[in-house]
Amino acid sequence: MTSQIYNQKKFVPTPPEKGSFPLDHEGLCKKQFLLYASCLRKNAQDTSLCREDAKNYLACRMDNNLMEKTEWSKLGFHEQKPAKEQEEKQ
Amino acid sequence: MLRSLSALRGQCQQLFRSSIPHQSNVQKSAQFWRMKSTNSPEEAARKLRSKSTLYYITAGGVLIVGLSYAAVPLYSIFCQAYSYGGTTSQGHDAEKVEHMAKVEDRVLKIRFNADIGSSMRWNFKPQQYEIKVAPGETALAFYTARNPTDKPVIGISTYNVIPFEAGAYFNKIQCFCFEEQQLNPHEEVDMPVFFYIDPEITADPALEFCDTITLSYTFFEAKEGLQLNFPSYAKPHAATA
C-alpha cells in the first residue's frame, strides 16, 4: 500500500457512525434515488437544495427495513420553520 | 668455491646474531612482571575510576537503546491524547450531528472516485461526479455496483480521503464500507453514502484554501487472507445507533 512510505502520515479510515447500509437488492428505493439524482442534476449538484429528496430516500430505507429508524434531528435534518420565518421577516 | 661461500654465510650469521640485543631469561621475566601494574594505591584508584567510567558508559548506552524502543508506544499514546499530527482521538461524537450548525459562507466540492481491485469483477462507479456541500450539513451520495458475472461475488470496500488533512473532518454517518456485500449474478445495486463535513474545518489553517475534497472508494473481492487497512475497532456488522 502507498501508506508504507516513510515520513508520510498514515491515513486511518474510520468506521461509519451507524455502521453499514444493507444492500438494496430488490431496488425498493430506486424511485427515491432517481428523484434525488434528478434534483441534483437540476440544481447544479448543490445538495443544500435537495435535502427533501434525500430525506425521502432515507425514509424509504427506514420503511423497508434497510436502515435503522432514527430521529431526523440525529441525521442532521432540522425543522425548516425558523429559517422560513426569518426569511419572511426580512 | 663452495667452501668460501659457506664461510661467508657463517660470518654473516654471526654478525646478525651479535647485532640483536641479547636478553637473559631473568631479565625477560622481570620485564613481563613490570608490565602488569603493581598494587600501589594510585594504580588501584586509577583502575577503579576507569572501571566505573566504563560501567557508566555502558549503562548510558543501554538506557538510550531502551528509550528508543519505549518511545514508540509512548508517542502514540501522546498523539492520541492530544490529537497531535492529525490522529483523531476515538470516534466522532454522535451527538454532534444534532447540534452542529451549517456554515453558510463556505461551500466545498466533494468529488467521488470509484476503484476496484485488480481481480474484482464488479462494475463500480459513482452516480455523481461531484456535489457541492456546506460544512455542518449532512449530504447523501450514491455509488452503483453491478455484477456482470454468473456467480455471486462478495466484495468488501475501503475508502480514502484526499487531501489527507481533510480526512479528519470527513465523518460518515452510514455507508457501505468495511462490511462484506454480496451481489448476486447480474445484479445492480445503488450504494449510498451518508456523510457530513465537520464545521470545524473552517478553523483549520491547513485547509483554508481547500475547496475540493475527493472521496475514493475501492472494492476488493472478499477472499481468505485478504488484509485491508481496517481500523481495529471496525464493526463487523451493521451497527446499532
CB contacts under 8 A, B 200-239 vs A, are 229-231, 233-235, 237-239
Q: Is B160 in contact with A13 (Cβ distance < 8 A)? A: yes
Residue A40: inside a domain:
yes
- Per the listing, cell 441525521 goes with A75
> Is A18's Cβ below 8 Å from some Cβ in B?
yes
Q: Is A9 in contact with B85 (Cβ distance < 8 A)? A: yes
Burial label, B5 (beta-carbon count in 10 A; 0-12, 13-18, 19+): exposed
Q: Which residue of A has its CA nearest to B103?
A: A48
> Is A40's Cβ below 8 Å from some Cβ in B?
yes
Q: What is the DSSP letter of B149?
A: S
Whether B102 contacts B135, CB under 8 Å: yes
**Three-state DSSP state, A49:** helix
Residue A48: inside a domain:
yes
pTM of the full structure: 0.62
Residue A54: inside a domain:
yes
Q: Is B177 in contact with A20 (Cβ distance < 8 A)? A: yes
Residue A45 pLDDT: 87
Residue A83: inside a domain:
no
Provide the shortest C-alpha distance from residue A60 to chain B (in Å): 13
**What are the Cα distances from residue B172, in Å, to A15, A18, B66, B159, B161?**
8, 8, 41, 11, 11
Residue A85: inside a domain:
no
Q: Which residue of A has its CA nearest to B182?
A: A23
Residue A5: inside a domain:
no
> Is A17's Cβ below 8 Å from some Cβ in B?
yes
Question: What is the per-residue pLDDT across B10-22, written as a single tens digit (0 to 9) for each?
Answer: 887 888 777 776 6
What is the residue range of A53's domain? 25-67
Strands (E), chain B: 108-116, 123-126, 130-133, 138-146, 153-162, 170-174, 181-183, 188-197, 212-221
Strands B170-174 and B188-197: antiparallel
Question: What is the per-residue pLDDT across A69-83, written as a single tens digit (0 to 9) for each?
Answer: 888 888 888 765 444
Whether residue B197 is predicted with pLDDT greater than 90 in this model: the reply is no
Question: What is the per-residue pLDDT across A25-56, written as a single tens digit (0 to 9) for each?
Answer: 888 888 888 999 999 889 888 888 888 888 88
Count the domains in chain A.
1
Question: What is the per-residue pLDDT across B166-182, written as a single tens digit (0 to 9) for each?
Answer: 888 888 888 887 788 88
**Cα-atom radius of gyration of chain B, to the nearest Å?**
39
Residue B89 pLDDT: 45
The CA distance from B235 to B231, in Å, is 9
